[in-house]
């Protein structure tokens, strides 16, 4: 398989992995927030009852979890493509 074909073949796989990463990251964030804050739901940015600190802390935690999960899934997908095709998807 040529490198160009490998890149094209990886695109739909990358999209599916991205969706899966977002789903997994959301589930992890909900569990972490439940443990950290002792509440079921994280605050929304427009929640009048919550303060700036709580809203920004929740957003930072959610962003960090998403970035780590997304990077791990994307890297794992790239490694898998390299193992299958012999080429790294750029």
CB 81 within 8 A of CB 16: no
| pLDDT (tens digit per residue) in 37-90 | 887 788 999 999 999 999 999 999 999 999 999 999 989 988 988 888 888 887
User: Residue 2 pLDDT more than 80?
Assistant: no
DSSP 26-44: HHHHHHHHHHHHS-SSPPP
pTM of structure? 0.81
For 1, 2, 4, 18, the CA distances from 27, given in Å and listed in that order, are: 36, 37, 35, 14
């Amino acid at each position: 398989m040529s490198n160009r074909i490998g890149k094209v073949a990886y695109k739909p796989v990358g999209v599916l992995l991205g969706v899966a990463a977002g789903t997994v990251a959301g589930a992890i964030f909900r569990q972490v927030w439940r443990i950290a804050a002792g509440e079921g739901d994280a605050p929304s940015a427009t929640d009048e009852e919550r303060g700036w600190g709580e809203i920004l802390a929740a957003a930072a935690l959610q962003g960090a979890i998403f970035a780590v999960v997304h990077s791990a899934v994307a890297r794992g997908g790239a490694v898998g493509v390299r193992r299958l095709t012999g080429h790294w998807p750029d």
